[in-house]
């Protein structure tokens, strides 16, 4: 990759577009990538992508649709609505990955494989053979809520994925204090949702300050 540092990505996972627009407005200058999160994509659909593309023409825009089937149709919907990157679940059939990848190429976009659930390094090799260049290493919300932290096992798998040729984005309840854990990983981007939003449940955040803190950590370690 020719980027010198990992990107910072905000995941917009609110159920309504106006909250998402408010969240991203506060941090847009500090992030490289804007994600229409799975929650927002389900709730507001392609309209959310089109609106964000209009408001933020220069940012990389991701549709985190975690698609598992109908790769061609769903990928085309997202890319045609302004996405640069579209996520495909690791459980998708390899033919779904190939279809989504074909569409990505037509739009000059990229597919990212979301590494949820069961997958193997052999799967990763197949994704790469299909032309996929990116994956997202994901600690699920539910795993995080159950107290699952980042460990040696995660770092080892990340290194193996890099060796296979995948650029890796890292996500799942990430906060600035976590960034140092990944200092030896060639991360594509750090994806933060709740940490960068202006609220997390009833707690009010200052997303802009947290974004600056992420940047400080990224500048320090890369």
Which residues bind to Mg ion, rule: CB under 5 A?
Answer: 11, 37, 64
Residue 201 and residue 60: Cα distance in Å, rounded?
27
Tell me how far, at minimum, the Cβ of 34 lies from ligand 5RP, in Å: 12
- Residue 187 CB, nearest approach to ligand 5RP (Å): 14
Using CB under 6 A, pick the residue from 40, 74, 111, 195 that binds ligand 5RP. Answer: 195
Of residues 135-154, which lie at the interface with ligand 5RP (CB under 6 A)?
141
The contacts found for 86-89 with CB under 8 angstroms, 24 or more apart, are 86/62, 86/110, 86/111, 86/112, 87/62, 87/63, 87/111, 87/112, 87/113, 87/114, 87/136, 88/112, 88/113, 88/114, 89/113, 89/114, 89/116, 89/117
187 binds ligand 5RP (CB under 6 A): no
Chain residues 37-96 in contact with ligand 5RP, contact rule CB under 6 A: 37-38, 64
Q: How far apart are CA 72 and CA 35, in angstroms?
A: 20
Tell me how far, at minimum, the Cβ of 34 lies from Mg ion, in Å: 11
Q: Report the partner that residue 207 touches, choosing among Mg ion, ligand 5RP, none (CB closer than 5 to 8 A by kind).
A: none
Contact segment (CB under 6 A) with ligand 5RP among 26-34, 96-104, 189-197, 204-212 equals 189-197
The reply on whether position 171 binds ligand 5RP by CB under 6 A is yes
Please state the closest distance from residue 38 (CB atom) to Mg ion, in A: 5
Contact at 8 Å (CB) between 7 and 190?
Answer: yes
192 interface partner picked from Mg ion, ligand 5RP, none, CB below 5 to 8 A per type: ligand 5RP
Instruction: List beta partners, residue 110.
Output: 85
The C-alpha atoms of residue 88 and residue 69 are separated, in whole angstroms, by 9
The residue whose Cβ lies closest to ligand 5RP is 193
Q: Which residues pair with 113 in a beta bridge?
A: 88, 135
Q: Does 103 bind ligand 5RP (CB under 6 A)?
A: no
The three-point CA angle 193-52-222 to 5° equals: 50
| Contact residues for ligand 5RP, defined by CB under 6 A | 11, 13, 37-38, 64, 141, 171-174, 191-195
């Amino acid at each position: 990759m020719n980027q010198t540092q990992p990107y910072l990505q905000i995941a917009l996972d609110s159920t309504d577009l106006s909250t998402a627009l408010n969240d991203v407005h506060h941090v847009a200058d500090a992030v490289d990538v804007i994600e229409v999160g799975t929650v927002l994509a389900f709730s507001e659909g392609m309209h959310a992508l089109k609106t964000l593309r209009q408001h933020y023409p220069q940012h990389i825009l991701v549709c985190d649709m975690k698609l598992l089937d109908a790769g061609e149709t769903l990928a085309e919907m997202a890319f045609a609505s302004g996405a640069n990157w579209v996520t495909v679940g690791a459980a998708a059939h390899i033919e779904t990955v190939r279809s989504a990848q074909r569409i990505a190429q037509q739009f000059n976009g990229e597919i990212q494989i979301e590494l949820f659930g069961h997958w193997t390094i052999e799967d990763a090799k197949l994704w790469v053979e299909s032309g996929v260049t990116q994956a997202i290493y994901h600690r699920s919300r539910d795993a995080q809520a159950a107290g699952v932290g980042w460990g040696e096992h995660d770092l080892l798998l990340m290194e193996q994925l890099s060796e296979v040729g995948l650029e890796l984005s890292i996500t799942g309840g990430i906060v600035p204090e976590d960034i140092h854990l990944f200092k030896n990983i060639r991360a594509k981007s750090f994806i933060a949702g709740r940490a960068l939003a202006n609220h997390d449940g009833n707690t009010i955040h200052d997303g802009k300050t947290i974004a600056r803190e992420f940047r400080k950590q990224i500048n320090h370690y890369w």
